[in-house]
């Protein structure tokens, strides 16, 4: 019996978890200026960051948000840093939007974005009965270093409880260091997303702590607010790929990992005439090859 093996190569970058952004929703756009950022953004509701109530924030071009003042730093330091600054850093590195890329933001106090935020937070933190009253969406869209990188920080609040979503789309290899996560002024509360300072930054596109590939969620209004636990990045991507290629995941074939996805792989079974698909991570890209599969339909 001859079994046909079909291997499909596909760069899977999932953007449907992003909040609305760009010209359509009416974002305010940062100046095309290296190491610049937004003017002061007066928040619609206070954003509580580990006990401090902030009414103003800044969206800085180099992949971070600050509260007290704008900040141009393009050279990240590792969290915990003990540097006297409250910092939200979805992708802190040396970015340059002078030639291409758009950095923008918008606040919401009603409508579908608040509904989406409320649903997301209650799904990820089911012990709460939360209703969002304000959302700030900050987006770095195709902003280059050597490649074009797309990511978001979403600040969600009801004036007392505060949450951050960090959404990652296409992330290209870059030479500079990257720090992703958050840090308080005294580093008594911090989180560093796995992959920071690892030179394999596509891990952000494929990892999650809330079972949504490319999304990390945090409650940040007070200390001892545990984040949902890390999910297996490869297992997440196998489920997404299975849906794309109309196949069924085969969990017993999956090699899950929470490491840096240097040489990880997964396999799942497909419907006839496809017998199986096998994907492998190598360095910063997703490669496919003609591989025999362990189990056939």
Q: What is the mean pLDDT of the chain?
A: 78
pLDDT of residue 200: 74
Q: How far is CA 175 from the centre of its chain?
A: 19
pLDDT of residue 279: 42
pLDDT of residue 265: 41
pLDDT of residue 5: 32
Q: Specify the 3-state DSSP secondary structure of 117.
A: helix
pLDDT of residue 228: 65
Confidence check: pLDDT of 117 > 90: yes
- Per-residue pLDDT band for 250 (boundaries 50, 70, 90) equals very low
Domain spans of the chain, in order of start:
28-219
The pair of three-digit structure tokens given for residue 268, joined into one six-digit string: 């799942």
pLDDT of residue 109: 97
Strand-by-strand arrangement of the 247-249 sheet: 247-249, 265-270, 276-282, 285-288
pLDDT of residue 262: 32
Confidence check: pLDDT of 242 > 70: no
Give mean pLDDT, residues 104-123.
98
Give mean pLDDT, residues 85-91.
98
Which is more confident, 272 or 138? Answer: 138
Most confident option among 12-16, 72-76, 145-149: 72-76
Kindly state the percentage of the chain with pLDDT values over 90: 56
**pTM for the complete prediction?**
0.77
Read off the pLDDT of residues 35-52 as tens digits, 9 standing for 90 and up.
889 999 999 999 999 999
Q: What count of other Cβ atoms lies within 10 Å of the Cβ of residue 12?
A: 14
**Which residues lie closer than 8 Å to 70 by C-beta, 6 or more apart?**
37, 38, 39, 40, 58, 60
pLDDT of residue 260: 34
Give mean pLDDT, residues 171-180.
87
């Amino acid at each position: 019996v001859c079994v046909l093996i079909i291997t499909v190569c596909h760069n899977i970058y999932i953007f449907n978890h992003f909040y609305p952004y760009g010209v359509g929703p009416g974002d305010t756009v940062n100046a095309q200026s290296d190491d610049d950022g937004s003017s002061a953004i007066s928040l619609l509701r206070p954003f509580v960051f580990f006990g401090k109530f902030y009414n103003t924030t800044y969206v800085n071009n180099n992949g971070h948000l600050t509260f007290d003042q704008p900040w141009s730093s393009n050279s990240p330091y590792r969290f915990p840093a003990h540097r006297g600054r409250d910092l939200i850093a979805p992708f802190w590195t040396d970015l340059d939007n002078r030639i291409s890329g758009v950095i923008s933001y918008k606040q919401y106090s009603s409508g579908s974005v608040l509904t989406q935020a409320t649903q997301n937070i209650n799904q990820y933190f089911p012990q709460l009965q939360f209703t969002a009253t304000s959302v700030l969406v900050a987006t770095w869209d195709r902003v280059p270093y050597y490649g074009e990188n797309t990511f978001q920080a979403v600040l969600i609040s009801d004036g007392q409880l505060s949450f951050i979503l960090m959404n990652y789309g296409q992330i290209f290899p870059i030479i500079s260091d990257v720090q992703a996560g958050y840090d308080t002024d005294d580093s008594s509360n911090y989180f560093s997303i796995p992959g920071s300072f690892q030179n394999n930054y596509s891990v952000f596109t494929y990892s999650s702590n809330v079972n949504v590939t490319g999304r990390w969620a945090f409650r940040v209004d007070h200390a001892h607010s545990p984040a949902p636990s890390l999910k297996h990045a490869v297992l997440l991507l196998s489920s997404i790929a299975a849906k794309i290629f109309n196949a069924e995941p085969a969990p017993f074939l999956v090699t899950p990992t929470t490491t840096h996805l240097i040489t990880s792989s997964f396999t799942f079974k497909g419907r006839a005439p496809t017998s199986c698909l096998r994907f492998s991570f190598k360095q910063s890209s997703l490669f496919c090859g003609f591989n025999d599969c362990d189990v056939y339909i």
